[in-house]
């Protein structure tokens, strides 16, 4: 897709995908092959599938109810509606299985969790690169992609571990990602996907039905507004429970520090600090013009699979407004909830210009030794993950009905607060 072409969602659909959507749409008209979104029905299906009853803390029911209502009102294509329903079923079954494990193994929740290092930055501001660099340090704990999507070990996972075999959750995500990349090959250049890649904890938050991930997949502006305006402490408390479960299953030392990262923390820093009041916050900042353009492209490339009628102009308006609101909320919470001593600001431009110097600054802030093993791990990761390994991510603001001047004026308060330079050339040109 050209960086200057007019964007249409259906242009991204492969022919078999279009044909299947057409067949399903016809069947839906006749009353067949529908994917009903009903709260009680979904809860009952999950109970029936697992033979379990307890979903744990029932505060998840409110966001789930909002999600179901707004997803039902969204103009998803038949395949998108099916995927949305199956995703909710997966998460509900995960909750049931998790609660059963917590009851059988009280030592899971008794584990201590030291305050983590948390990368708190806007999407597309170098957070993934920074996260994966820090995760290359063997002294940090982190999630792999399969653990984020499937954090709850099944009976089959326990059996595989005992037999020294591959965890079936790994195989399951391998197959799922192959399907995702077949249906949406363009996403590979936007965010590198891989079963064994270091991944953010947004998959854990998803089990509490309180994450921007639903917005990225299905749009759901009503759910996005609810999420922005309601306390998410319950979701972060549940995230910690799942972190303990993952650590317990892996046999991690209890005193091993996690390195976390998710743009969700920009919106919900209050909830993050509720569960980890002494977290060390590493806050990268990038030219907001580039951030908004890249974020719009990321959202668009995800949304087009399931939302035939989505327009790039809507994406532009939605994500510029959302970015502005997130920044105002985040800056206010940083000022009132976090001490200056636990915050470290760093420019994307400095990370890309000299990553080693940037990392040394972070480790100095953390008062941690930057060991030879950590440096070797980071260098190996960089050698294996050169920029644009999966193709260049191409987009323009104009595709989304925005201009650089409009974005700059809207987010000038952010640029001036952190003295963020304008990005006039490819920062990876020398890489």
Q: Residue 357 and residue 183: Cα distance in Å, rounded?
A: 40
H-helix or E-strand spanning residue 91: helix 78-104
Sheet holding 343-347, edge to edge: 140-141, 257-261, 117-119, 280-285, 343-347
Helix (H, G, I), strand (E, B) or coil at 349: helix
Question: Buried b vs exposed e over 182-193: b needs ≥16 C-beta within 10 Å?
Answer: ebbebbbbbbbb
pTM above 0.85, yes or no: yes
Asked if pLDDT for residue 387 goes beyond 80, the answer is no
Q: Concatenate the DSSP letters of all residues of 111-150 into one string.
A: ---PPPEEE---TTSSHHHHHHHHHTSTTEE-EEHHHHH-
CA 123 centroid distance within chain? 9
Q: Residue 13 and residue 19: Cα distance in Å, rounded?
A: 10
Q: Residue 234 and residue 225: Cα distance in Å, rounded?
A: 17
Write out pLDDT tens, residues 266-285: 999 999 999 999 999 999 99
The answer for residues whose C-beta is within 8 angstroms of residue 370's C-beta and 6 or more apart is 359, 360, 363
Q: Please give the sequence-ordered ranges of beta strands (E in DSSP) within 279-422, or none if there are none.
A: 280-285, 343-347
Write out pLDDT tens, residues 114-146: 999 999 999 999 999 999 999 999 999 999 999
Quote the pLDDT of residue 2.
Answer: 46
Instruction: Read off the pLDDT of each residue in 247-255 and give the average, rounded to a whole number.
Output: 97
Asked if pLDDT for residue 431 goes beyond 50, the answer is no
The CA–CA distances, whole Å, from 324 to 228, 297, 308, 310, 320 equal 12, 17, 27, 22, 6
CATH superfamily of 9-418: P-loop containing nucleotide triphosphate hydrolases (3.40.50.300)
Quote the pLDDT of residue 63.
Answer: 97
Write out pLDDT tens, residues 140-183: 999 999 999 999 999 999 999 999 999 999 999 999 999 888 88
Helix (H, G, I), strand (E, B) or coil at 243: helix
Quote the pLDDT of residue 15.
Answer: 80
Helix (H, G, I), strand (E, B) or coil at 199: strand
Closest to 230 measured CA to CA, from 58, 62, 55, 56? 62
Question: For the chain, what are the domain ranges?
Answer: 9-418
The CA–CA distances, whole Å, from 68 to 48, 131, 227, 402 equal 20, 32, 14, 31
């Amino acid at each position: 897709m050209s960086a200057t072409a007019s964007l249409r969602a259906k242009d991204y659909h492969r022919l078999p995908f279009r044909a299947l959507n057409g067949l399903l749409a016809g069947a839906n008209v006749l009353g067949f092959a529908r994917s009903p979104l009903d709260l009680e029905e979904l809860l009952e299906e999950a109970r029936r599938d697992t033979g379990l009853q307890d979903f744990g803390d029932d505060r998840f029911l409110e966001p789930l109810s909002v999600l179901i209502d707004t997803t039902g009102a969204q103009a998803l294509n038949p395949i998108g509606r099916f995927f949305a329903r199956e995703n909710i079923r997966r998460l509900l079954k995960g909750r049931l299985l998790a609660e059963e494990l917590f009851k059988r193994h009280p030592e899971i929740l008794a584990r201590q969790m030291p305050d983590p290092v948390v990368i708190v930055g806007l999407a597309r501001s170098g957070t993934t690169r920074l996260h994966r660099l820090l995760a290359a340090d063997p002294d940090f704990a982190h999630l792999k992609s399969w653990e984020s999507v499937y954090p709850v070990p099944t009976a089959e996972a326990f059996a595989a571990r005992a037999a020294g075999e591959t965890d079936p959750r790994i195989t399951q995500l391998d197959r799922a990602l192959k399907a995702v990349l077949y249906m949406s090959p363009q996403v590979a250049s936007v965010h590198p996907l891989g079963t064994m890649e270091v991944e953010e904890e947004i998959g854990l938050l998803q089990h509490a039905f309180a994450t921007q991930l639903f917005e990225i997949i299905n749009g759901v502006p009503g759910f996005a507004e609810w999420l922005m305006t309601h306390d998410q402490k319950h979701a972060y408390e549940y995230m910690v429970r799942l972190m303990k479960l993952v650590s317990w299953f892996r046999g991690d030392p209890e005193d091993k520090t996690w390195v976390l990262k998710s743009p969700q923390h920009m919106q919900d820093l209050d909830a993050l600090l509720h569960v980890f009041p002494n977290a060390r916050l590493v806050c990268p900042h990038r030219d907001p013009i580039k951030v908004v353009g890249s974020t719009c492209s990321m959202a668009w490339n995800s949304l087009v699979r399931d939302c035939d009628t989505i327009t790039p102009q809507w994406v532009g308006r939605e994500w510029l407004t959302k970015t502005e609101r997130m920044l105002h909320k985040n800056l206010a919470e940083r000022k009132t909830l976090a001490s200056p001593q636990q915050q470290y600001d760093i420019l994307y431009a400095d990370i890309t210009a000299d990553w080693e110097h940037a990392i040394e600054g972070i480790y100095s802030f953390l008062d941690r030794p930057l060991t030879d093993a950590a440096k070797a791990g980071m260098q190996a990761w960089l050698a294996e993950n050169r920029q644009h390994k999966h193709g260049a991510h191409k987009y323009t603001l104009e595709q989304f009905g925005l201009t650089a001047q409009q974005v700059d004026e809207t987010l000038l308060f952010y640029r001036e607060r952190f003295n963020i330079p304008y990005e006039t050339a490819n920062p990876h040109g020398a890489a």
